[in-house]
Amino acid sequence: MAKVWMTDRYGLNSFSGGEKLGSSTGPFHALNLGRKVGDEPSVVERNRSDLASVLGLRSIRYMDQVHSALCEVVTDPNKAESAVDAIILTRNEISDSLGIAVQVADCVPVVVESDGAVMAIHVGREGLFKGITEKALDEFCEIAENSSVKAFVGPSICGNCYPLSRELYLSIVQRYPATKFDEDENKVDVAAGVLSILDKREIPWQWFGGKRECVSCDSGYFSYRRDATTGRQAMVVAFSE
């Protein structure tokens, strides 16, 4: 079994009564976990350290997310962040009290768990189109072998808040018809595309927190589409004791 957490811009779902965290200011207020958004580096590291401490983890391994279809299995928790968009941790000598995380500000955070492995996936429109979801699931299920697999899908931008150019709209809905939200306004729902893949593979899933949340509609979350200059929240997973 695994433990899964979701942060917002103020802490651990703080606008719903969770613990408040974070030292960032301005548009990054308060728990920005992203290193590449313009926030003060030392403050980001403090935010990351404070989050790990509150979750009871010795550290959290993040990714240098690049909208790719690349996946990595963690073998060294002290290694620099890799340019990948999915990360897998198996239950072994390094996994005790180690978390893995996916950062988002509109994209879809996905966590997958089985008896002996956990995975975090970063799925944006570009990554979905490149096949990150399928490739990550292929690798994970090979590692998990015959154990039970289930997924958690976190807050992301909803279809009503995500218009594209006509060209981009057509390219994504032709490959993933489930993403079609509004043909007249060229709006897509990336999360619906992710869910269609999980359903096709008969992988049970649930919304984190029990319901769908849109980060653009809810100012309690960071949203790049809404604010442009903003921070990153994260979905974190670790093995239970």
Rounded distance between C-alpha atoms, residue 136 and residue 100, angstroms: 15
This prediction's pTM = 0.97
Using the structure block, give the residue that is written with the tokens 């096949």: 131
Residue 124 lies in a domain: yes
Residue 38 lies in a domain: yes
Residue 239 lies in a domain: no
Quote the pLDDT of residue 230: 98
Q: Where in the sequence is the domain holding 60, given as residue range(s)?
A: 2-233
The angle at the Cα of 225, spanning 49 to 200, to the nearest 5 degrees, equals 85
Residue 170 lies in a domain: yes
Q: Please, are residues 41 and 15 in contact by the beta-carbon 8 Å criterion?
A: no
* Strand-pair partners of 98: 59
Rounded distance between C-alpha atoms, residue 96 and residue 219, angstroms: 34
Quote the pLDDT of residue 161: 98
Report cis status (omega within 30 of 0) of the bond before 30: yes
Residue 203 lies in a domain: yes
Q: How many domains does the chain have?
A: 1
Q: CA 137 from chain center: how many Å?
A: 14
Other beta carbons within 10 Å of 97 = 15
Residue 241 lies in a domain: no
Quote the pLDDT of residue 211: 95
Residue 238 lies in a domain: no
Q: Which CATH number fits the domain that encloses residue 98?
A: 3.60.140.10
Residue ranges of alpha helices (H) inside 56-175 are 125-130, 132-144, 166-175
Across the 241 residues of the chain, what is the mean pLDDT of every consecutive 10-residue run? 94 76 97 98 98 96 98 93 97 94 98 96 98 98 90 98 98 98 98 98 96 97 98 97 72
Rounded distance between C-alpha atoms, residue 216 and residue 175, angstroms: 25
Residue 240 lies in a domain: no
